């Protein structure tokens, strides 16, 4: 996975789990070391999964805003507009486009919810004592 693709995915994850929203958590995706998760997935996950994740990042970043009626790339949108783009993709008539936000939410959740600081803020009764290997020393 290229560095710019990881940056794109981190922006997407930030739209999925933004920090400090009303009724939300103080800690957002940008506050946890999800780049480590992406690096780890690039090395350990099956090739076809990583390829699908990369393709999803390309679609959301370059075409998602156009499909949602915005003439910018995903990075040029506000966090609220980014969330709107993901929401509009999830309501597409095309199955493949409709499933892209679900794939990205799944990956973001694997990382975000695996970090002890997020687990504590959620008030989970059993919080991991150490962060995942990809996040050690960074959370």
Average pLDDT, the chain: 92
Q: Of 71, 106, 76, 70, whose CA–CA distance to 11 is shortest?
A: 76
Helix-strand-coil split of the chain, %, nearest 5: 65, 0, 35
pTM of the entire predicted model: 0.91
The rounded distance, in Å, linking the Cα atoms of 87 and 85 is 5
pLDDT at 74: 93
Q: How confident is the model at residue 138 (pLDDT cuts 50, 70, 90)?
A: very low
Domain count within the chain: 1
């Amino acid at each position: 996975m290229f560095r710019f693709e990881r940056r794109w995915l981190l922006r997407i994850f930030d739209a999925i789990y933004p920090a400090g929203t009303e009724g939300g958590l103080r800690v957002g995706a940008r506050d946890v070391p999800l780049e480590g998760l992406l690096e780890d997935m690039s090395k350990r996950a099956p090739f076809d999964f990583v390829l699908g994740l990369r393709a999803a990042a390309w679609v959301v970043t370059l075409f998602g805003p156009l499909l949602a009626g915005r003439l910018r790339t995903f990075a040029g949108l506000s966090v609220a507009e980014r969330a709107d783009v993901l929401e509009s993709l999830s309501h597409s008539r095309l199955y493949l486009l409709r499933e892209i936000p679900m794939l990205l939410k799944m990956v973001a959740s694997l990382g975000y919810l695996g970090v002890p600081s997020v687990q504590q803020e959620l008030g989970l009764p059993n919080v991991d004592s150490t962060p995942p290997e990809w996040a050690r020393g960074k959370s």
